[in-house]
A and B are shown apart, each in its own frame.
Chain A
Amino acid sequence: MSRPRVSLPDTAEAGEIITIRALISHVMENGQRRDSSGETVPRQIIHRFTCAFNGEPVFACDLDTAIAANPYFEFTAKVPESGTFQFEWHDDDGSVYTDERTISVG
């Protein structure tokens, strides 16, 4: 259901600062809303997003219920060497959505 999307360059110079953009399609149900029969719709949000490079943490963020649907992050990272960026989105229902992108430095 929820699809992650990530954008970053395929290549970089050693030590270059690149921009990473990450977005996931997610309803971010805040737990306050009522459905048409008046029942409260249970909370279901992405509550944590992380980005790592070759296993080293780069960026992490806890999200709360005020975040709108389809949360989007844009941040920068310094790329010391070729490697892989790993991304994780943690859902309230226990599922973890992942994506990764390789970047070559040369």
Chain B
Amino acid sequence: MTQKFKTSITRRHFGALLGAGAATLAMPAYLRAQGRPRVVVVGGGPGGATAARYIAKDSNGEIDVTLIDANETFTTCFFSNLYLGDFQSFDDITHNWDQLVANHGITKITAYATGVDRAAKTVTLDNGDTVEYDRLVLSPGIDIVYDSVPGYSEEVSEIAPHAWRAGRQTQILKEKLDALEDGQHIVMVAPPNPYRCPPGPYERVSMFAHVLKRKGFENSRIYVIDPKEAFSKQALFEEGWARHYPGMVEWYGPDIHGGILNVDAKAGIVETDFDTFEGALLNIIPAQRAGAIAHEAGLTNEAGWVPIDPYTMRSQEDEEVYVLGDATVAGDMPKSGFSANSQAKVAAMNIRGDLTDANVFPARYANTCWSLIETDDGVKVGAQYQPTDEKIESVSSFISQTGESDELRKETYEESLGWYDGIIEDMFS
């Protein structure tokens, strides 16, 4: 973390020496706005922050960039499982947009974007303001479909957290995990496809198990009630659970549990057709859909996600609106921070092409999802992608193998730490 910070300071100093570009940025906002094309980015995560940064940085002040996010800080959902397992602190995974504003002349508005008028090309904010755009980038992430799990609601999530959007929810989950005593159980209800971070629930199970094992709890169990018949990196996780946490994790697919009938968070039970599971900690991860503004803007399909043009990340409904990350139907690409960051660079390039005379090159996308199973036991899955007329298509992929050496697994974990520092710099510096 220290090293990352130092690098950022170096870049800021470099930015101050930019001369003409920097002088332009030093002008008052209302002057800058005259005549310059305006890009508004909603959502400051791996999609939005990256897009804002690349558009501002690479256009050398030719494009006016405004970033709208309701929060003052951003806690990454990626690596939040490592916070649960005590491999990262909450501060380690919490960042802000201050350097993005200082280094690239981006305007940050702290407000919740409530709607889009695509005819007038404006975004409405919850403080009553409207912001005009020439190109709009929506990177709203996911909304939780609370009622997809019987008995679950936003209110119940205070007791039985989903923690599938990082922040206070993650802290509630951590507090409950740390308060468990030996013999008390954890019940996780896993989400149906498609959802943010396919291996995430199972990495989280691993981190739960890591904490219980470290405390010497021999009588606590982790029950996973899954609506899916199979899950990401299943062989790797099952091998790791048997190796590191024998007997602790019990995974139930739909052909065994027969369906989730009810969650009673106060009583600490999850009722299934097969049996009733009791836990002092319930982690309920419901179905998901694109963040609310994508629906408000009228860009979503029947399943609740945004179809995009695979070549550019433009919405299929409106070529002046680009949509990034978890909210989209991105073909073979999973919903991940890495994917959103990769898509953001394609969108940024196309937006600069739309609004300035910048060159536009054929899109290439990439993703890797790392997961930590136990200390120094990291695994990964990933791919390279190209657009086709139908979808963003995987052209080559890789996945960790069962039975790999301890050295390789440690290398894989260390690679993930390097990636984290890299993407944070790519988003926020």
Select from chain A the residue with minimum beta-carbon distance to B241.
A69
Which A residues are CB-close (under 8 A) to B274? 5, 7, 21, 23
Decide yes or no: A21 and B247 within 8 Å by CB, A1-B219, A7-B274 being known contacts: no
> Is B404 interfacial (CB 8 A cutoff)?
no
> Is A91 interfacial (CB 8 A cutoff)?
no
> Is B221 interfacial (CB 8 A cutoff)?
yes
Decide yes or no: A27 and B246 within 8 Å by CB, A1-B219, A21-B256, A72-B256 being known contacts: yes
Which B residues are CB-close (under 8 A) to A69? 242, 247, 250
> Is B275 interfacial (CB 8 A cutoff)?
yes
Option from B219, B221, B243, B256 in Cβ contact (under 8 Å) with A23: B256
Which B residues are CB-close (under 8 A) to A26? 247
Tell me whether A1 and B256 are in contact (CB under 8 A): no
Select from chain B the residue with minimum beta-carbon distance to A23.
B256
1/0 contact trace for B237-260 toward A, CB 8 Å?
000001100110010000010100
1/0 contact trace for A19-46 toward B, CB 8 Å?
0010101110100010000000100000
Chain A contact residues (Cβ within 8 angstroms of B): what range? 10 to 19
> Is B98 interfacial (CB 8 A cutoff)?
no
Tell me whether B221 and A25 are in contact (CB under 8 A): yes
Tell me whether A1 and B273 are in contact (CB under 8 A): no
Query: In residues 218-248 of chain B, which contact A (Cβ within 8 Å)?
Result: 219, 221, 242-243, 246-247
Q: What is the CB-to-nearest-CB distance from B302 to chain A, in angstroms, rounded to a whole number?
A: 34
Q: What is the CB-to-nearest-CB distance from B373 to chain A, in angstroms, rounded to a whole number?
A: 14
Tell me whether B246 and A25 are in contact (CB under 8 A): no
Tell me whether A70 and B275 are in contact (CB under 8 A): no
Which A residues are CB-close (under 8 A) to B258? 7, 21
Q: What is the CB-to-nearest-CB distance from A36 to chain B, in angstroms, rounded to a whole number?
A: 9
Q: What is the CB-to-nearest-CB distance from B211 to chain A, in angstroms, rounded to a whole number?
A: 18
Chain B contact residues (Cβ within 8 angstroms of A): what range? 10 to 19
Tell me whether B273 and A70 are in contact (CB under 8 A): no
Tell me whether B273 and A7 are in contact (CB under 8 A): yes
Option from A5, A29, A33 in Cβ contact (under 8 Å) with B275: A5
Q: What is the CB-to-nearest-CB distance from A67 to chain B, in angstroms, rounded to a whole number?
A: 13
1/0 contact trace for B344-363 toward A, CB 8 Å?
00000000000000000000
Query: In residues 254-280 of chain B, which contact A (Cβ within 8 Å)?
Result: 256, 258, 273-275
Decide yes or no: A29 and B246 within 8 Å by CB, A5-B275, A21-B274 being known contacts: yes
Select from chain B the residue with minimum beta-carbon distance to A68.
B238
Decide yes or no: A70 and B250 within 8 Å by CB, A5-B274, A7-B273, A7-B274 being known contacts: yes
Which A residues are CB-close (under 8 A) to B275? 5, 7
**How far is A70 from B221 in the complex, measured between Cα atoms in Å?**
13
Q: What is the CB-to-nearest-CB distance from A24 to chain B, in angstroms, rounded to a whole number?
A: 10
**How far is A29 from B275 in the complex, measured between Cα atoms in Å?**
25
Q: What is the CB-to-nearest-CB distance from B276 to chain A, in angstroms, rounded to a whole number?
A: 9
Q: What is the CB-to-nearest-CB distance from B136 to chain A, in angstroms, rounded to a whole number?
A: 50
Tell me whether B273 and A25 are in contact (CB under 8 A): no
Which B residues are CB-close (under 8 A) to A70? 250
A-B contact pairs, 6 of them (CB 8 A): A5-B274, A7-B275, A21-B258, A69-B247, A70-B250, A72-B256
Q: Which 6 A-B pairs have the closest CB atoms?
A: A27-B247, A5-B275, A7-B274, A27-B246, A25-B250, A70-B250
- Given A7-B274, A23-B274, A25-B221, 8 more pairs with CB closer than 8 A: A7-B258, A21-B256, A26-B247, A27-B242, A33-B242, A41-B246, A69-B242, A70-B250
